[in-house]
Amino acid sequence: MKKKLALLVLGVFLVSGLFGCGNKVPEGTVATVNGEPISQEELDINYNQFLQLYAFYGFDVTQDDIKLEARNTMLDNMITQELLLQEAEKRGLSVSDEEVEEDIQSMVTNQYGGSQADLEEAVQQAGMTMDFFKDAKKEELLLTKLQTELVNNPETVDVIKASHILVDTEEEANEIIAQLDGGADFAALAQEKSTDTGSAANGGELGYFAVNGATTSKMVDAFSQGAQALEAGEYSKTPVQSEFGYHIILVEDKQSDVNLLEDSEKYQSVLQGIYSYGLQNLAASLEEDADIEILIDTNAVPESPDNATAETETDSSGESEQQ
């Protein structure tokens, strides 16, 4: 039961991919993000939580490769979160102490049967103090506000509406282009020949996609560049090669500086990318211009925290608490 209580706390952060950074201290820094430090203490607490989750699902957390994967994944996640927190602050977003307390009380009511003591026990077993937990909660709520901001005020972008036919070889692609030049119907050829079965059923239709922007999801570069080189109504005269094969692209519409909310139904496919991956896309964009320094040897195997090892030993005794 105790392990389950701890994992309920872990789930607040691990399931969402948001990890608490706590109070920043310059001594014992493992990385800096635009000058802001991430401490060894912060990394250790989050690494400890991650290994507990690995152990819960049956991984041997005494193995060096598991330790390295957990520690390095955790450090990458903490760097990503720090980038997003900095962006949230630049946008003037904030979370009050009252909002944190309200969220924690909701958690007590919905997950702990109204018992504050059970929550505090779970926090302790997860290797955190309540102050650290509240700081982590605050950052989680701030990132939720940032995601809401991205959705409610999407950036202005350039978009293209296109269809495509995807085949395995350049020879096949050239044969299809020859048929199109002879007057064949693009949608009919897509349904018959495209290996992209998802779009083939709709005549190769892909809908609108963004070709720029920090929060939008993109097509692979080769496809996007091939589409941008075409005018509306044109199709590829030479095959466009990507990691997926050879594309013949038909561009149906091109629009610049689009306010996606002016016709949200029309641009739903672009907005969906922001809804689902906005924070992830934004983090990747921020990382391109960020000053990130990793100050530890990421090939050096960290130690297994005592409580994560103990969880593995408990599981191996045959008394599973997952049931």
Q: How confident is the model at residue 321 (pLDDT cuts 50, 70, 90)?
A: very low
Q: Are residues 229 and 312 in the same domain?
A: no
**pLDDT score of 28:** 87
Q: How confident is the model at residue 75 (pLDDT cuts 50, 70, 90)?
A: very high
pLDDT digits (tens, 9 = 90+) for 103-144: 999 999 999 999 999 999 998 887 789 998 999 999 999 999
Among 2-11, 35-44, 76-85, whose mean pLDDT is lowest?
A: 2-11
Among 65-79, 113-127, 194-208, whose mean pLDDT is lowest?
A: 113-127
Q: Are residues 148 and 6 in the same domain?
A: yes
Question: Residue 144 is part of which domain span?
Answer: 2-152+291-316
285 CB-near residues (< 8 Å, 6+ apart): 214, 215
Mean pLDDT across 256-278? 96
Mean pLDDT of the chain: 88
**pLDDT score of 292:** 97
Q: Are residues 16 and 37 in the same domain?
A: yes
Q: Are residues 101 and 174 in the same domain?
A: no
Q: Are residues 71 and 210 in the same domain?
A: no
Gap between the terminal Cα atoms of the chain: 10
Q: How confident is the model at residue 54 (pLDDT cuts 50, 70, 90)?
A: confident
Q: Are residues 144 and 165 in the same domain?
A: no
Please state, in angstroms and rounded to a whole number, the distance separating the CA atoms of residues 31 and 33: 7
Q: Are residues 90 and 227 in the same domain?
A: no
pLDDT at 25 over 70: no
Q: Are residues 178 and 106 in the same domain?
A: no
Residues in the chain: 323
pLDDT at 99 over 60: yes
321 within some domain: no
275 within some domain: no
**pLDDT score of 154:** 96
**Strands in the chain per DSSP E:** 29-33, 36-39, 157-167, 205-210, 240-242, 245-258, 292-294
Which CATH number do you get for residue 93? 1.10.4030.10
pTM here is 0.80
pLDDT at 199 over 70: yes
Q: How confident is the model at residue 304 (pLDDT cuts 50, 70, 90)?
A: low
Q: Are residues 251 and 170 in the same domain?
A: yes
22 CB-near residues (< 8 Å, 6+ apart): 39, 41, 42, 45, 132, 135, 136
Q: Read off the tokens for 208.
A: 């609108």
**pLDDT score of 127:** 78
Q: Are residues 145 and 205 in the same domain?
A: no
221 CB-near residues (< 8 Å, 6+ apart): none
Q: How confident is the model at residue 278 (pLDDT cuts 50, 70, 90)?
A: very high
Please state, in angstroms and rounded to a whole number, the distance separating the CA atoms of residues 239 and 175: 10
User: How many domains, the chain?
Assistant: 2
Q: Are residues 132 and 179 in the same domain?
A: no
**pLDDT score of 314:** 43
